Amino acid sequence: MKIKITTDSTADLSPELLKHYDISVVPLYVVMGDKILKDGIEATPEDIYTFVDETGKLPKTSAPNLNDFLSMFRNWRKQGFNVVHFNISSDFSSSHATARMAAEEVGGVEVVDTRNLSTGSGLLVLHACEMAQNGATAAQIAEECRALAGRVEASFVVDSIDYLRMGGRCSSVAALGANLLKLKPCIEVIDGKMVSGKKFRGRIEKVIINYVTERLQNRDDIDKHRVFITHTRCSEEVVEQVRETILQLAPDFQEILETTAGCTVTSHCGPGTLGVLFIRNR
């Protein structure tokens, strides 16, 4: 039986990766004023920056609806595929629950709760693609990826907490104090939920390198198959410095992939956010 790997748009996989691995995507929706737009198709991170600058408000995101999932799953089932679908953590969105409803109606579809977001989910999606290429069944892929989800290490360091404040994830007083002290918080995904980690201090360019160093230095529990550098509006120079730091600290990574975060991470964290995301081997 042929296997089709699908995901929602929060996985933040680049167009090149989607094409290379033949991954299909169902977009979430981005609500900006009276406009409801498809994430990555009708709305981009640049649109979010413009909306925030013009209105002082954050857009909202909403999950795909049942018909969105039914349409995609039925399309691939009619072509003779068994489907393995990956969703953003069920603690972040109703996307997973809706996808499961559609899967039960269509049949032949495995739905995986990644317990993650952005390329934390994307790591599992690519692992699934490689399993499919090696002849694994849909059930085998789903079972292994569900087990692997707890070993994905996803985190981001945030330049400004203004977007977190606007989204109600940080009080105005805390935001003022953080900005005055030039604090840059690290946001981590733990057990499917987003939590605040260490707070770095200083210029974001220096903070990012310190963050990467702390994430990778003296670690023997990292699967060196691939690592993602995922960011929002970071300069090419900063990204290249991160790449060089990774190569210094963990030169045996087989693949270092760079992606620009999509609308979900952008609307949560704002510009100047960067994360290194990988899988632990235990």
Read off the pTM.
0.94
- Ordered by start, the domain boundaries in the chain are 2-28+63-150, 154-279
Residue pair 2/22 in contact by the 8 Å Cβ criterion: no
Beta-bridge mates of residue 61: 30
Bridge-partner residues for 194, per DSSP?
A: 189
CATH class of 2-28+63-150: alpha beta
Say which residues have a Cβ less than 8 Å from residue 40's Cβ, sequence separation at least 6: 9, 25, 27, 262, 263
pLDDT in the model for residue 179: 52
The pLDDT score that the predictor gives to residue 199 is 87
Q: What is the pLDDT of residues 116-144, one digit of tens each?
A: 999 999 999 999 999 999 999 999 999 99
pLDDT score recorded for residue 150: 96
- Domain 154-279: give its CATH architecture: 2-Layer Sandwich (3.30)
Q: What residues of the chain score a pLDDT lower than 50?
A: 170-178, 180-181
pLDDT attached to residue 107: 98
Task: Look up residue 251 and give its amino acid.
Answer: P
| Residue of 154, 249, 157 whose CA lies nearest to 208 | 157
Task: Give the Cα separation of 160 and 163 in Å (integer).
Answer: 7
What pLDDT is attached to residue 174? 43
CA-CA-CA-CA torsion for 43, 125, 212, 240, nearest 10 degrees?
-60
pLDDT of 1 reads: 79
Q: Which residues lie closer than 8 Å to 258 by C-beta, 6 or more apart?
A: 228, 229, 230, 231, 239, 243
DSSP conformation letters of 13-59: --HHHHHHHT-EEE--EEEETTEEEEBTTTB-HHHHHHHHHHHSS--
Specify the pLDDT at position 167: 60
Q: What is the pLDDT of residue 197?
A: 83
User: For residues 177 and 192, what is the distance between their CA atoms, to the nearest angstrom?
Assistant: 28
